[in-house]
Structure 1
Amino acid sequence: MTISRLFARITERETELADQAAALRTEIDQLTARLHGIERDLEHVRITRQTAAELADGLAPDAVDQAGPVLPEHPLYPQIIAVFHTRQQPLRARDLCEALDLGLLPKDIGGIRSKLKRLVARGILAEAQPGLFTHTRP
């Protein structure tokens, strides 16, 4: 290898590394801008939470509680509550599976039972007897 070819190769490698460094700097600038945007949004959410908490402190306890417990995120929960509103009687997990046209396999009944227990824990339903669930609100 001649000296001129060696220096040409070194120059080529230097150019490659400089291009990679420039690309990384651009990427870092983009990520930094995104990070600042997310941090700004996070600060806004924190301020909103603090403001809401301060406003809620000024409300009467009844006004805060009137919204009631919030249903968990799953499309079956509103359907379950609707069945309790229409039936107006205590129900078992199997009854709900039938009312919702779900399967009657043990896994289906168990899945509904766990959802019912979650609603009991949130104060939306009550368990009158083991496995027998009722709506707590008229």
Structure 2
Amino acid sequence: MSDNPQISAVLAYVEARERELGEQAGQLRSRIEDLTAHLGEPDAESENLRITRKTLLAIPRPDPVEGTPRPDVPDHPAYQQILTALADAGRPMRARDLCEALDLPILPKNTEGIRSKLKRLVTRGILAEPEPEPEPGLFTQPRT
């Protein structure tokens, strides 16, 4: 060290500051290591998703099954809801029963709307309406 008290004070400050900066650098390096480890997790998951997408796109489409073609269901979501409700019930249903199953108010406009959709599904061969002898107005999925 120097004999000069001013230089000794400056040198002591420089040494203290060097230690302080060394500690800060060590803390920052530790944080960088933690962040790098955490960054690896989303990178790994992203890579897994990329591989999954690639695998799914590589799966060939199955050949269509020979036999009767499946009729096209109309695009409106109400038709899917009707078919789901019928499948869930597992029994023939009336338009009124379907209104209840679909949480629609039992009003003539709703019942007639459902009935017309049911009739449309019958004409497309998606649903069946048994003969009117035992009970008219029942709709069911056809036996396959």
* TM-score, length-scaled by structure 2: 0.49
Aligned equivalents of 1:91 and 1:122: distance in 2?
18
Q: Deviations for 1:76-108, whole angstroms, at most 9, x for unmatched residues? A: 111111111111111000000000001211010
Aligned ranges for residues 89-104 of structure 1 at < 5 Å?
Answer: 89-104=91-106
Alignment of 1:1-138 (within 5 A): 63=66, 65-66=68-69, 68-128=70-130, 129=132, 130-137=136-143
Structure 2: where are the runs of 5+ without partners? Answer: 1-62
Alpha-carbon separation, structure 2, partners of 1:127 and 1:92? 10
**What is the percentage of aligned positions where both structures have the same residue?**
56
Q: How many correspondences in the alignment?
A: 78
Per-residue deviation, 1:137: 4.4
**CA distance in 1: counterparts of 2:105 and 2:114, whole angstroms:** 10
- How far apart are the structure 1 equivalents of 2:120 and 2:86? 15
Distance in 2 between residues matched to 1:137 and 1:69, nearest whole Å: 14
Say which structure is richer in helix.
1
CA distance in 2, matches of 1:103, 1:137: 30
Give the CA RMSD over aligned residues: 2.2
Shift of 1:127: 0.7
Structure of higher CA gyration radius: 2
1 or 2, which has the higher strand percentage? 1
